[in-house]
């Protein structure tokens, strides 16, 4: 069955793959350095024009680190003028009070700052920067000062999950309105480092229990702080509706203009169109790549006959490709998938600790230098 094509309500503008940090769970392509060309200011404005004409209403500025683009304020102002709700997704590196003020004047409505950990040493080791935690902390205070919604993001993994209580305490100290505690999704660099990042089942259970305890405490105290805890696919028996379905709501434009149905899709052996050569309307409605996994005709029989297909749309195509070599295969996360044993093997492997020094970073030389100066503290997990 061919599903009707909806509107691309959410546009993610990946302005650049450049970033001053080296997080081992980065979702950017492993070969990010090969993509040196970036859309110009004018080309991005054309993308915004075409996306609004298609019905897009939400616009996220992402990367890499979008703050390295010196035209960010101009892009925000143009998008705001066009009627987008604008969101900056940033590490906070390169942010200053003057820049926060100028982004506010340009019409930016939302800033999400990511931390690596609540402990400054752990945060800086994972980020690959000696002053990352200090910068993030200060910028979070300023975001609150300039009356933005305080949204903090922590990517949770085995190197920081045992400090989940301290992470939440930091968020409360910073008076966060919303906190996303998202256990690492394994794409890009995270997939390369899965054995060092996938937490054990016991760690996940403990972290979720502590989060629920804090939710109750926060509610009792009347504190307005929403804690969002996202369990990794690897500890589920049914796949999530990845991006709400392939080419259904989300549209990503990569730094070089490649249009994608999700930020991880360019790793697939698919020829995706580029906004420099093809209008966004043609890409969204008519391109072979965006139609490739819409509906259910592409699904193997076991997925086509599954009553859950209207809920999960067959799961994640990128995950199926990374784990099985064929994006058409049933998502291995699904307990019914013949490839589910791969997920079970990953769970078993998570029981074997992997040292921080063995993680693969974008800048391995800097990583080794930092790891000699300080160690990530270890902790025994109690049920």
**Is the dihedral angle over the CA atoms 214, 219, 221, 226 positive or is it negative?**
positive
Structure tokens at 265: 């899709």
Q: Is 296 helix (H, G, I), strand (E, B) or coil?
A: coil
Residue with structure tokens 């076991």? 302
Peptide bond before residue 5 is cis, with ω within 30 degrees of 0: no
User: How many CB atoms neighbour CB 37 within 10 A?
Assistant: 10
303 in a labelled binding site: no
- For residues 106 and 92, give the distance between their C-alpha atoms in angstroms, rounded to a whole number: 18
Walk across the sheet containing 110-115 and list its strands: 226-230, 178-183, 150-156, 110-115, 85-90, 58-62, 10-14, 250-253, 259-260
- For residues 326 and 330, give the distance between their C-alpha atoms in angstroms, rounded to a whole number: 9
Structure tokens at 135: 């910068």
171 in a labelled binding site: no
Residue list, annotated binding site for [4Fe-4S] cluster: 19, 23, 26
Residue list, annotated binding site: 19, 23, 26
């Amino acid at each position: 069955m061919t599903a009707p094509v909806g509107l691309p309500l959410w546009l993610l503008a990946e302005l650049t793959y450049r970033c001053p940090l080296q997080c081992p769970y980065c979702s950017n392509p492993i070969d990010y350095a090969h993509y040196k060309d970036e859309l110009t200011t004018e080309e991005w404005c054309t993308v915004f024009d075409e996306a609004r004409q298609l019905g897009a209403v939400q616009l996220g500025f992402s990367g890499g680190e979008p703050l390295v683009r010196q035209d960010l304020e101009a892009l925000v102002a143009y998008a705001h003028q066009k009627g987008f709700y604008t969101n900056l997704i940033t590490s906070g590196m390169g942010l200053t009070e003057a820049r926060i003020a100028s982004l506010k004047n340009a019409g930016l409505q939302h800033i999400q700052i990511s931390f690596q950990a609540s402990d400054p040493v752990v945060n800086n080791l994972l980020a690959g920067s000696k002053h990352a935690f200090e910068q993030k902390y200060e910028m979070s205070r300023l975001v609150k000062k300039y009356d933005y919604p305080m949204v903090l993001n922590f990517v949770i993994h085995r190197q920081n999950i045992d400090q989940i209580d301290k992470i939440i305490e930091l968020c409360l100290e910073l008076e966060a309105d919303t906190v996303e505690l998202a256990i690492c999704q394994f794409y890009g660099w995270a997939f390369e480092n899965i054995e060092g990042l996938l937490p054990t089942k016991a760690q996940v259970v403990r972290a979720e229990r502590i989060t629920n305890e804090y939710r109750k405490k926060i509610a009792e105290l009347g504190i307005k702080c929403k804690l969002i805890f996202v369990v990794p696919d690897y500890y589920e028996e049914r796949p999530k509706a990845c991006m709400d379905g392939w080419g259904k709501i989300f549209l990503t434009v990569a730094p070089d203009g490649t249009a994608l149905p999700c930020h991880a899709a360019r790793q697939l052996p698919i020829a995706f169109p580029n906004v420099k050569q093809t209008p966004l309307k043609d890409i969204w409605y008519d391109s072979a790549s965006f139609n490739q996994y819409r509906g259910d005709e592409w699904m193997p029989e076991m997925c086509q006959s599954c009553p859950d297909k209207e809920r999960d749309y067959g799961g994640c195509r990128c995950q199926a490709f990374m784990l099985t070599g064929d994006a058409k295969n049933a998502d291995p996360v699904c307990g019914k998938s013949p490839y589910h044993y791969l997920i079970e093997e990953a769970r078993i492997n998570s029981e074997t600790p992997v040292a921080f020094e063995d993680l693969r970073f974008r800048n391995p030389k800097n990583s080794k230098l930092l790891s000699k100066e300080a160690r990530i503290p270890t902790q025994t997990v109690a049920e």
